[in-house]
């Protein structure tokens, strides 16, 4: 049983077939059990026990889904999408509520920053319960972005490649990552990013797991690859350092052991899932 990423829960019933019907959405907003996400400091608000905090519906701009016949909504807020600012929340957020936290954060932010038509420059209107915006002027329809990102560990002779970006907390090393570009597939993006950032060529690339990452709207696609050598050429524009770590070193870091050679990524990051997977697979 491979380790599962943090944002891997089922979420709620998105009921996407109902999004196009304003009368149905209004009925779900008027249901006695309808609810709207509370918002605090640029993020969905959490209770002390790490659940999403809800309030009565007053601005049902974005339809997140339904629980029974009652709608779950969110207002458009200019969300904070700094993962660093979110980590204290992510450390208490329950896994059950994680997918809805991510959906609300990404969707709200997208609306706040996409009020105009990219095709003609005119203001657009929310449609489909918040799952698109339509331009009254040129009729273009715009859908919320989901940006695929590859994040990967490379292995050579029983050791694992991890890197460090300048903005990481002290001691932290993590998996290398980068956006998938037009015209390439997941495997090609993994090979390109490992070549660009660490100067290594890799042979096999395999998929491990994926999760949404709402800072602002990534789909993290976790992979592993076999390096052809351990000689590194580090792109210092991207990375402060990159190093190979042994199985024992990775185990010590994941355990948070005293004297561990690096600080592992937190549980909400899929990089941690990749390390756990590598140790157990």
Q: Which residues in 166-195 contact its own copies (CB under 8 A)?
A: 179-188, 191-192
Asked if 117 is part of the footprint of its own copies (rule: CB under 8 A), the reply reads: yes
Determine if 59 is a binding residue for its own copies (CB under 8 A).
no
Cβ(153)–Cβ(162) under 8 Å? yes
Q: Binding string, 6-45, against its own copies, x = CB under 8 A?
A: -xx-xx--x-xx----------------------------
Check residue 80 for interaction with its own copies (CB under 8 A).
Answer: no
C-alpha 64/C-alpha 54 separation (Å) is: 13
52: its two tokens? 């999403």
From 233, 74, 259, 73, select the one nearest 171 (Cα to Cα): 259
Contact 46, 58 (CB under 8 A): no
Q: Which is nearer to its own copies, 59 or 115 (CB)?
A: 115
Q: Which is nearer to its own copies, 16 or 226 (CB)?
A: 16
Q: Closest approach of Cβ 172 to its own copies, in Å?
A: 24
DSSP string, 214-248: TTTTEEEEEEEEEES-------TTT-SEEEEEEHH
Supply the minimum distance, in Å, between the C-beta of residue 266 and its own copies. Answer: 18
Rounded to a whole number of angstroms, the minimum distance from the CB of residue 274 to its own copies is: 14
Q: In this chain, which of 31, 38, 114, 134 binds its own copies, going by CB under 8 A?
A: 114
Residue 235 binds to its own copies (criterion: CB under 8 A): yes
Q: Give the position of tokens 């890799």.
A: 202
Buried b (16+ CB within 10 A) or exposed e, 115-143: eebeeeeeebeeebbbbbbbbeeeeeebe
CB-nearer residue toward its own copies: 221 or 232:
221
22, 115, 236, 279: residue in contact with its own copies (rule CB under 8 A): 115
For the packed helices 270-280 and 247-255, what is the interaxial angle rounded to 10 degrees?
130
What is the footprint of its own copies within residues 81-100 (CB under 8 A)? Answer: 99-100
């Amino acid at each position: 049983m491979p380790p599962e990423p943090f944002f891997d829960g089922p979420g709620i019933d998105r009921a996407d077939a109902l999004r196009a019907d304003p009368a149905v959405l209004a009925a779900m907003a008027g249901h006695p059990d309808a609810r709207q996400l509370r918002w605090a400091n640029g993020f969905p608000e959490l209770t002390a026990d790490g659940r999403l905090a809800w309030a009565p519906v007053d601005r049902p701009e974005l339809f997140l889904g339904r629980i029974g016949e009652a709608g779950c909504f969110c207002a458009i807020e200019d969300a904070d999408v700094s993962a660093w600012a979110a980590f204290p929340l992510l450390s208490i957020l329950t896994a059950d509520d994680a997918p809805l936290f991510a959906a609300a954060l990404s969707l709200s932010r997208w609306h706040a920053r996409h009020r105009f038509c990219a095709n003609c420059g005119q203001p657009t209107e929310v449609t489909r319960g918040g799952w698109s915006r339509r331009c009254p002027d040129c009729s273009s329809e715009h859908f919320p972005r989901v940006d695929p990102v590859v994040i990967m560990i490379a292995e050579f002779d029983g050791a694992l490649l991890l890197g460090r970006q300048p903005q990481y907390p002290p001691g932290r090393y993590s998996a290398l990552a980068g956006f998938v570009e037009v015209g390439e597939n997941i495997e090609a993006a993994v090979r390109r990013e490992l070549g660009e950032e660490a100067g290594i060529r890799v042979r096999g690339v395999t998929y491990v797991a994926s999760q949404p990452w709402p800072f602002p709207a990534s789909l993290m696609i976790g992979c592993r690859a076999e390096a052809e050598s351990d000689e590194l050429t580090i792109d210092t524009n991207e990375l402060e350092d990159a190093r190979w770590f042994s199985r024992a070193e990775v185990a010590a870091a994941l355990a948070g052991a005293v004297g561990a050679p690096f600080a592992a990524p937190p549980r909400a990051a899929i990089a941690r899932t990749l390390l756990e997977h590598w140790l157990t697979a």
